[in-house]
Amino acid sequence: MNKAEAKTEIERLRRELNRHNRLYYVLDKPEISDAEYDRLYRKLVGLETQYPDLVASDSPTQRVGDKVSGEFKKVRHSRPRMSLDDAFSLQEVEDFEQRAKKLYNSTHRSASSWLAQDRINTSYDSGDALLPRMTGHHQGKSEEGLWDYVCELKIDGLQIVLTYRDGLLATAATRGDGVTGEDVTHTIKTVRDIPLKLSKLLDMVVSGEIYISKRDFAKINSEQQKTSGQLYANPRNLAAGTVRQLDPKVASGRRLKSFVYDLEGGVSPKTQVEILKELTDLGFSVNPKNQLCRDLSEAEKFIRKWAEGRDELPYEIDGVVVKVNDLATRRMLGVTAKAPRWAIAYKFPAEQKPTKILDIVVQVGRQGTLTPVAVLEPVKLAGSTVSRATLHNEDEIKRKDVRIGDTVIVRKAGDVIPEVVSVIKSKRPNSAKPFRMPDKCPICGDKVVRVEGEVAHKCANKNCFVVQLRKLEHFVSRDAFDIDGLGTKILEQLYKEGLVRDPADLFTLEEGDIEPLERFAEKSASNLIQSIQSSKTISFNRFIYALGILHVGAQTARDLTNTFSDLDEIIHIFPSSFQEVDGIGEKVANSIFEFFQDEHNLALVEKLLAVGVVIKRATALTSHKLAGKTFVVTGTLDSMSREEAEAKIRMLGGKASSSVSIKTDFVVVGINPGSKSDQAKKLGVKILDEKSFIKLL
C-alpha cells in the first residue's frame, strides 16, 4: 500500500471508528463486536505508525496522550460558571417560579417591545429522538401566563467546560471556582462520547457533566478489593479524581462518560430545547431523559417520578434542574451575584437509615472549635459506608436528646456530610449514657470556653497542636496556596519536629530538613521543596483565603479582592467599608476587621512577605483599557445580564460599582436605566450604550 492509498484507508478507518464510538458510547446501539472494533483500531494504529505525518488530532488513536508533568495549567473561563440555587421542596420550586414571574412582569412592562422580537413559536417533529415530549405546543410559552420548562436530571458528577476552535477540541477545563478552572484536556480526550471533532467547523464552548456509571464504579471497586487497594467512596469522587489524574492512561481505563447541557457561540438557539437538539446534532451525548414540560405542574411530576425512580438509573443523580425554556425570557430575568434567576436545582431528600451510636468523640477544628462526632455502627448510605456523623454542637445534642447507645436515624446532608437526624427513643436501652462536653481540650488539655452568644465551644489555647495543624492544612489546600505533596501526615511530622510552627515556616524549609523524616528520600525531599517554592507567587484572593479568616470562604475572598485594591487597604479600613461588598454583612465584616487588629496575624502576614511570598493582582485578559476604570451598569442589556457585564468588567481589570459618583468613569446604559443615567449626565460621567460597551471588551 503506497502513501496515497494509506491516506485514503486511514481516513476511512477514522470515520468508521468515530461512527462506532458514537453508536456505542452515545446512542448505546453498537453494530459491531468489541473484537471487530479492536481489529479496525489496530489496523489504524499500524498505518499511522507507518505514516506518522498522516496522524490527525481527531483520530481515535489520539485520545490517550502522554502523561502531564507537575501540575495542571489554569484556564480562565469565557464567562463565569455559576452555581444554581437549590430547592429542597416542591414549595420552594413554586416560590422560584413566583419570584421569576414577578420580576419578569415588572421588567416586561418597560421592555415589551424588545421582548416581542425574541419570542418564538417553533415545533419539532414528533419523531425527535432527543425529547419525545417536545411536541404539540410551541417552545417559548405554552399558554398565556404559563411558562415552558426543560427538566434535566442533575448528574452527580464533575462539571466540565469544553472549548472548540474550528470544530476541534482545544481545551477541556474543570469548573474550578467558577472563574478559573484547571486544564484537564489530556484526560477528557479519553472520554469516548466527547467528540474530538464536531460535525461543523464552529468556535464554541460546551458545558456538561463527567460521570462514572454505577456498573463501572462497582467493577473498579471490585478490582481494588482483589489487589487490596483502597475502595472509592462513591462514583462522583472517583470521576473527579480520575479527571485530575496526571496520566491519561489511568483515565482511559475507567470508562468516564458525559452528558452535556449548554453551549455558547457558533449557533443562535432561541430555547433550551434548541440547545439540546443542536448539541445532539453536533455529536455530543445528551441525556435522553431530559423533558420539556408545558408548565410547572408537569415539571413537578417529572421531579416526583425521578425522586422515586432514581435507583433504576445506571448512573447517580442527586436532583432535577428546572430551566426556563425560552432564552429571551432568561435574558430578562438575568442572574444574581451567585446564580441565574431562570433555573433552580431541586435536590432530592437525603437518604436516611437507622444505626446505633457506639460512642461520641470530640474533634478540634482550625478555629479551635470543638465538634462532637457520633461513632456509628457502619451503615451503607448514599453509595458509601458511614461510620461517623456530626452532631454539630452541644445545644443540638440536647435538643435531639442524643445519647451513647441510642439507635438513631442518620443521613448525608446534601448527600455529602453524614449527620444524626433524630433518635428512635422506643429503642433506647437502659444503659444509654448522656453526653457532656469536655471542660478541657482533648488534644492539649487546656480549658474549653463557650463564647457568649455562640453555640460553639472552643479551646482557649491558640497554640493547640491540632488547631495549628488544621491551619496549616487550610493554608496548603487547593483553593489557597495549593502546595502539592503536603498532606496531613507530612505536616504533622514537620510540626512535631519543630520545623514548622506557622505557614511562613514552610517557605524556609530546606532539603536537609525533609530527608531525615519518615518515608522521605533525597528525590522526594527535593520535589517537595520545589513544590513549596513554586507556590510562592499567589493571587490576591487565594492569599486572603489562605489566611483562614473566620467566616471568609473562597467566594468572599474573591469578592473582597475584586473590591479593594491591595492588602494594605484591607488591613487599614473600618468594618463598615467591608459591608459595601455584596454578600458581606456585619458579622463577616467584623471578623475581617478583628483578624487584622490581632498583632499575631499581622506578624504572620509580614513574615510571609519577608520569606518571599508574592501577591499577584489579577491582570486584564486583553489590553489594559479597563484597568483602574470604574463602571456602573444600569438597565436591562440585550446580550447579557447586568451581573454578567459586571463580571466581565472585573475580569478585564476594571471595577464594577453599584452607585454613580464623581469617581465613576463610565455608566453603561441598557433599557429602562432609571435615575443612574440622569445622575451620570449631571456629573459629566461618560455614558456608553450596550454596543459601545461591547467594543471596549
Cell 425521578, residue located: 306
Say whether 9 counts as a known binding-site residue. Answer: no
Judging by beta carbons within 10 Å of its beta carbon (0-12, 13-18, 19+), is residue 522 exposed, middle or buried?
Answer: exposed
Say whether 152 counts as a known binding-site residue. Answer: yes
Which residue is catalytic, options 29, 73, 74, 154? 154
Q: Are 408 and 422 a contacting pair, CB within 8 Å?
A: yes
Say whether 47 counts as a known binding-site residue. Answer: no
Say whether 347 counts as a known binding-site residue. Answer: yes
Say whether 452 counts as a known binding-site residue. Answer: no
- CA 28, CA 564: separation in Å to the nearest integer? 52
Q: In 573-652, which ranges are continuous DSSP H helix?
A: 575-578, 586-597, 599-610, 642-651
Say whether 35 counts as a known binding-site residue. Answer: yes
- CA 279, CA 173: separation in Å to the nearest integer? 18
* Catalytic residue check, 73: no
Cα–Cα distances in angstroms (integers) from residue 627 to residues 76, 580, 620, 665, 680, in the given order: 18, 21, 7, 11, 20
Say whether 454 counts as a known binding-site residue. Answer: no
Say whether 34 counts as a known binding-site residue. Answer: yes
- CA 496, CA 410: separation in Å to the nearest integer? 36
DSSP letter (8 states) at residue 688: E
- CA 284, CA 26: separation in Å to the nearest integer? 7
- CA 354, CA 411: separation in Å to the nearest integer? 9
Q: What kind and span of H or E run contains 539? A: strand 537-539
Say whether 175 counts as a known binding-site residue. Answer: yes
- CA 33, CA 37: separation in Å to the nearest integer? 6
* Helix/strand/coil for 257: strand
Say whether 37 counts as a known binding-site residue. Answer: yes
Say whether 38 counts as a known binding-site residue. Answer: yes
- CA 171, CA 168: separation in Å to the nearest integer? 9
Say whether 459 counts as a known binding-site residue. Answer: yes
Say whether 323 counts as a known binding-site residue. Answer: yes
- CA 315, CA 212: separation in Å to the nearest integer? 7
Binding residues for NAD(+): 34-38, 83-84, 152, 175, 209, 323, 347
Binding residues for Zn(2+): 441, 444, 459, 464
Binding residues: 34-38, 83-84, 152, 175, 209, 323, 347, 441, 444, 459, 464
- What residues are annotated to the active site? 154
